[in-house]
Amino acid sequence: MSEPSTREQLTIPGPAGALEAVLDAPPQPTAIAVVCHPHPPDGGTMHHKVPMAIARELVRLGCAALRFNFRGVGQSEGAYDRGVGEVEDALAAAAWLRARYPGLPLTLAGFSFGAAVATVASARTDPPPQSLILAGTSPKRVSAPPVGVPALVVHGEHDEIVPLADVMDWARPQTLPVTVIPGAGHFFHGQLPLLQQLVRQFWLGATADAASG
């Protein structure tokens, strides 16, 4: 029987002050992941059920998964910065996690606003992340750039916050596949096990491709 994962309550350095964070990790991680939460003015925090579900599945897959509160959320210092500063927060979180676990491949993940932030951050991370996991992404909110790494894009058919058409308009020019969950809304009510299954399938495929490449 495998050893249980551990959880650390952390404070990590950020560009606008300290960031409140939680690190969940198996005993011997083989990869690392930063998971970003939804829109702060709408109540988004690292404890939201969707980023927590994504992080939980990544831990099962062997990742050390770091969730953190953007500036001005919870105990994180600073103030909401309309996506600009939040990208800097995500970059700081990724740098901290890479320093904690040198040499392990990085995945950036997020839900809604956090998915768009992760997309922008992925274009500025050096070296780039191994992959991106984007659930209910909101590409117009922070002008998400084209994706340059393997990505899982999952969206609800009946998303009431970010219309599916907005995501398709962003993905189409890059021929980026979008996985649509039939009947699902923005918050994936009742669909989190399916979301986790999609994360697992994507992860196993992406890591196999990376190993063979």
**Within-domain flag for 27:** yes
Quickly tell me which residue has 């058919």 as its tokens: 157
- Per-residue pLDDT at 34: 98
**Other Cβ atoms within 10 Å of 182 Cβ, number:** 8
- Per-residue pLDDT at 1: 41
**Within-domain flag for 62:** yes
Tokens of 64: 């050390």
- Per-residue pLDDT at 142: 85
Burial of residue 121 (number of CB atoms within 10 Å: 0-12, 13-18, 19+) = buried
Contact 58, 65 (CB under 8 A): yes
pTM, 2 dp: 0.96
- Per-residue pLDDT at 141: 86
pLDDT digit of tens for each residue in the chain (213 aa)?
A: 456 889 999 999 999 999 999 999 999 999 999 999 999 999 999 999 999 999 999 999 999 999 999 999 999 999 999 999 999 999 999 999 999 999 999 999 999 999 999 999 999 999 999 999 999 999 988 888 899 999 999 999 999 999 999 999 999 999 999 999 999 999 999 999 999 999 999 999 987 777 776
**Within-domain flag for 84:** no
- Per-residue pLDDT at 128: 96
**Within-domain flag for 158:** yes
**Within-domain flag for 72:** yes
For 202, the domain range is 6-79+91-212
- Per-residue pLDDT at 2: 54
Non-local CB neighbours of 128 within 8 Å, separated by 6+ positions: 122, 148, 149
Contact 158, 185 (CB under 8 A): yes
- CATH of residue 46's domain is 3.40.50.1820
Q: How far apart are alpha carbons 34 and 19 in whole angstroms?
A: 13
**Within-domain flag for 56:** yes
Burial of residue 68 (number of CB atoms within 10 Å: 0-12, 13-18, 19+) = buried
Task: Check residue 175 and give left, alpha or beta (phi > 0: left; psi -120 to 50: alpha).
Answer: left
**Within-domain flag for 86:** no
Q: What share of the chain is helix, strand, coil (3-state, %, to 5)?
A: 35, 25, 40
Give the Å distances, CA to CA, from 15 to 18, 19, 85, 88, 127: 8, 9, 8, 7, 20
Please give the tally of structural domains in the chain.
Answer: 1
Give SS3 for 202.
helix
- Per-residue pLDDT at 43: 97
